[in-house]
Amino acid sequence: MAISRRGVLVGAAVGGGLLVAWGLRPRTFPTPLSPGRGEQVFGAWLKVARDGVVTVAVPQTEMGQGVTTILPQIIAIELGADWRQIAVEPAPVSGAYANIPLAAKWAALWTPTFADLADEPGDMLAERYAQITRFSATADGTSLAAFEMACRNAAASARTVFIEEAAERWGIGVEECDTAAGFVIAGDRRLSFGELADGAAQRDAPDIPVLRPGVIAEQPLPGSELAEPEYPRLDLPSKVDGTHLFAADVRLPDMVYAAIKHGPLDRAELTEFDIGPAEANPRVVNVVKGKRWLAAVATDWWTADKVVEAMQPRFSVEGIAESYRGQEALNDAARSGAGFRIAVRGDGVSIDDPDFARRYHVAPALHAALETASATARYADGRLEIWMASQAPERARRAAAQAIGLSLEDVILYPMPAGGSFDRRLEHDHAVEIALIAREVSLERPRPVQLVWSRWQEHLAGIPRTPAVGLLWADFKDGSSGQLSALHSRIAAPPSALEFGQRLFENKTRWAAREAVSGKADPLTVEGAMPPYGIPSVVVEHVPTDIGISTGRMRGNAHGYTAFFTESFIDEAAAMFGREPLSYRIEMLGDDVRLVTCLQAAARLAEWDGGRDQSGQGLACHRMGSKETGGRIACIATARLDTGGVRVSKLSAAVDIGRIVNLDIARQQIEGGLIFGLSMALGASTEYARGLPTTQGLRDLNLPRLAECPEIEVEFVPSSAEPFDPGELGAAVCAPAVANALFSATGLRFRNLPLFSEGF
């Protein structure tokens, strides 16, 4: 059965806000799913077995955000399935799973590669690109926007043919039937999906499936945070008992293990090494030389790691990374570099003699995912198989194919869950490395090999979130009590999103990517800098800066520092006029009632005392996305300084993310984002000296331990707006809330991230 684009993908495009002329551009995709024994395939999204198990294909990478529960939940509700009989499998590569909203958002990153499509309207261009390249990347919280309606349409189609099959067997009209708990039901009669699967699969799916009335939503009612979730996470039991398999858990017969050592930053080339330790160790299988790295392969990873270290690889290095040079470049750029206006509100008139100005610094941030870069590969008979976690699996597959000169069809990638990512798995450097290593190992005899980076290599060769310097200055309204009439945000930072795009879509090396975008304005690098406040005149300016290291994406991305800049600046302006921080913000938020509601709700949760001197309470709020469809959060932190450092005792957050599909997962994402933001506030950073990061292990990152994690209260504001992903809101708002809390506790302003750093 072919899958009609109207039946499967219409909702994906509409959910992403794209208007597509369906009748003018019909497309079909071959059914991408393969049935197992006793299974029948129903479109691109689900299979039903004779035992009643419904298997849902999920085209997004599970990295803790719960996507392998949310998409199956949507299908289960629309289909009328029993949640206890839902299973999940990774979706195969297919244009049926194109992430069109993400392609549209990232258009500036890939459009140069597809210049021949540039005559298309923007929405049509994103659609064509995503389908042609089978672009199904997981990022920017687009899973619901891309796939909710596609899942509902697919489930509704399957429900229709199940009902038709049951109605014919019973000799009654389809209008007398419905589905529930995995059965088609008509009065006292019932037939299970398993009993009906073979017959239903032979029926033609409707061109336009009839959806159940209403939308899929869980209401955040009082006490709902204590209720047992109706749709508990499918991945939770195996993650609790340790049986959940991540990329580093793959075990294949006759497998060997690789450890790697990379050269210093920036342009390192392997020049020499001592082969003696490898030759003297009987467990060593092979030594593989890359242009910029050396790997040892052994019968166990511990041996491989010790041997590659003992071989003492030496590198020649150009442009050795030094933090002081990067900081000087950012400071100089912020003061006098050539800037680009990215966004303007009102007249955008330059402020020549500002009433108020401040400067803020943000250091490079490390991802610190629990699972380091890991991949397993087997090369045999001119074909390569890879097991790895990737947020952009088709790009990783393509990069591996190019690395060893294979056609794309000769590379198979088996997507694995990620043991943490925070956008780290959008990079595919380890896919290239494992492809090269597997090919070399196969020269002796084909056997699978697993590459795992050590924590030190993850810090050294991982790509950090960009450091930045923000200069903010403002004028106040005449005769006002601190209301801003104009605000200028000038942000010096590398064009990180454009760099990332060159690596992901052009498969360029790090320094080639940097050179390709040098001096270019990058709107995504200053995303979130346009404040939600009703300030009449606002200018957001980006000053692209080369700091001597490559930079990339991280949870929260630019919002992680633009929210810190803006909310610290607003708090300082309030203090300058002796204004109470909550009412000061609300006074300027007259046109964003949803954010005002969040602020008021957070104040109730935290029993806000006005942020008076030595109270230890600090406030911050932020909006992500557009005013019409974006998400909002307000957070009040309670913090103090003691002999052990910063102690954050409580975080109270009120959140508006529109319609909520799974309340329990939304709460988890806000709580996790707040803890992630706390780690950004207190650590998770590094400097660079002689081309090496100064932090070598997790212990050096000052991450909050379990005993140090604060009490967290989260309240969701009921909303009928379109769903907004909650995963990054907490990560953006936590650091400024903590910084403002420390000001109320100590009277000291902390203008650097991490809060006690001296600047990158």
pLDDT tens column, 206-240: 999 999 999 999 999 887 777 889 999 999 999 99
Are 57 and 29 a contacting pair, CB within 8 Å?
no
Show the beta-strand stretches assigned E in 586-710. 617-624, 631-642, 645-656, 688-689, 692-693
Q: Is 116's pLDDT higher than 90?
A: no
pLDDT cut 70: percent of the chain above it: 95
Query: Of 533-542, 545-554, 750-759, where does mean pLDDT reach its minimum?
Result: 750-759
Distance CA 353, CA 588 (A): 23
DSSP 451-479: EE--HHHHHHHSPPBPPEEEEEEEEE-TT
- Name residue 706's amino acid: L
Q: Would you state the pLDDT for residue 350?
A: 87
627-644 pLDDT, tens per residue? 988 999 999 999 999 887
How far is residue 737 from each of residues 288, 605, 656, 731, measured CA to CA in Å?
A: 48, 15, 18, 11
Q: Are the C-beta atoms of residues 685 and 698 closer than 8 Å to each other?
A: no
**Dihedral sign for Cα atoms in the order 605, 609, 611, 615:** negative
Residues comprising the chain, all counted? 760
Q: What distance in Å separates the CA atoms of residue 467 and residue 259, rounded to the nearest whole number? A: 29
Give the CA distances from residue 544 to residues 249, 254, 333, 521, in Å, rounded to whole numbers and listed in that order: 41, 49, 8, 6
Mean residue pLDDT across the chain: 93
Q: Crossing angle for the helix pair 429-442 and 393-403, nearest 10 degrees?
A: 40
- What is the Cα–Cα distance from 350 to 488, expressed in whole angstroms? 8
Residue range 261-304, pLDDT digits in tens: 999 998 999 999 999 999 999 999 999 999 999 999 999 999 99
Query: What is the crossing angle of helices 143-170 and 193-200, to 10°?
Result: 90
- Structure tokens, 467: 């450091």
Say whether pLDDT at 312 is over 80. yes
Amino acid at 582: L
Phi, psi of 335 (to 5 degrees): -75, -45
Quick one: pLDDT band at residue 759, thresholds 50, 70, 90?
low
Closest alpha carbon to 180 in 216, 218, 212, 214: 212
pLDDT at 193: 98
Structure tokens at 334: 């912020």
Residues in Cβ contact with 103 at an 8 Å cutoff, skipping those fewer than 6 apart: 110, 126, 127, 129, 130, 135
